[in-house]
Amino acid sequence: MSAKRIAFLGPPGTFSEEAALHYDSSAQLLPFASVAAVAAAVDSGMAEEGVVAIENSIEGSVTDTLDILIHESRLSIRRELVLPVGHCLLVRPGMQTADVKVILSHPQALGQCRRFVERCFPKAEIVAALSTAAAVEDMVGRENAAAIATRRAAELYSAEILAHDIQDRSDNLTRFVVLAESDHPPTGNDKTSLAFSFADDRPGLLVSVLQEFSSRDINLTKVESRPTKERLGEYIFLLDLAGHRSEGPVAEALEGIKAQSSLFRIFGSYPRYTSSA
């Protein structure tokens, strides 16, 4: 039997690879250059599943992943993973602190290390990369450049660690999701994620949706909004809630929301992450 194929945001050495290894160390891991490419790999059958970041405890939601789920892909969330994230400042061998004029990394990593960069390298040019590992690859070909990335990336690309644990908070956590063609059967300890929006704008619309949950004693674990990308001032609402979409009270609430919405999309129901999982 061949190993499961799991796509991740590459190249090797990213936190997404670390999450994929944590999820299934026996799988065949396939690196892709963007979140959109990871989703496309699963959509097209090149991989059975894809691992992408969706939320960070410092920087909040990963908009690339949310936009793919809302606008581009019909994939479902099958699992969630939560990993501690420790960032390092990597340089080419022999470089010193005074040599660093450019710092490269993924925008999420740059945001998570903003305080360190502003204090220690206030004059450095900040350059966004497709991933933390891609930043290390780019760094190798540039003079006076450093990259914010993982310890594993330092090993893979023969870089030196100039500084470690440079994230703004020591308890920095990132939530990853496993994307697949279908979500997960009920386990008794589940979470459901969805998106919805309204065709018109009138008082009480959002309250009526929230009452679908409160009247059934369903706990909401996350509420946020994203622009529809069609007109200024129009938003798509995103919810995470306790329970599985197939369970009676949750299913009833979702039907009530669907009846009021112009856009309604269930991203999936999946086992709720626990630290002992």
Q: Per-residue confidence of the chain (277 residues) as pLDDT tens digits?
A: 678 999 999 999 999 999 999 999 999 999 999 999 999 999 999 999 999 999 999 889 999 999 999 988 899 999 999 999 999 999 999 999 999 999 999 999 999 999 999 999 999 999 999 999 999 999 988 889 999 999 999 999 999 999 999 999 888 999 999 999 999 999 999 999 999 998 777 777 788 888 999 999 999 999 999 888 887 878 899 999 999 999 999 999 999 999 988 899 999 999 999 875 4
Look at residues 3, 1, 20, 2 and name the one whose alpha carbon lies nearest to residue 11: 20
How much is the pLDDT for 230? 80
The catalytically annotated residue of 174, 213, 237, 267 is 174
Q: In order of start, what are the domains of the chain with their CATH numbers?
A: 5-85+172-180 (3.40.190.10), 88-164 (3.40.190.10), 190-271 (3.30.70.260)
How much is the pLDDT for 160? 96
How much is the pLDDT for 205? 78
How much is the pLDDT for 1? 64
Backbone angles phi, psi at 130, to 5 degrees: -70, -25
Do the strands 173-180 and 76-84 form a parallel or antiparallel pair, or are they unpaired?
antiparallel
Any idea which residue has 């919405």 for tokens?
261
Contacts of residue 190, Cβ cutoff 8 Å, sequence gap at least 6: 184, 242, 243, 244, 269, 270, 271, 272
- Cα separation, 222 vs 175, in Å, equals 13
The catalytically annotated residue of 32, 176, 196, 198 is 176
How much is the pTM? 0.88
How much is the pLDDT for 58? 87
How much is the pLDDT for 170? 86
Token output for 91: 């340089």
Contacts of residue 72, Cβ cutoff 8 Å, sequence gap at least 6: 36, 39
In one-letter notation, the amino acid at residue 157 is Y
Do the strands 49-56 and 5-9 form a parallel or antiparallel pair, or are they unpaired?
parallel
**Residue 174 annotated to the active site:** yes
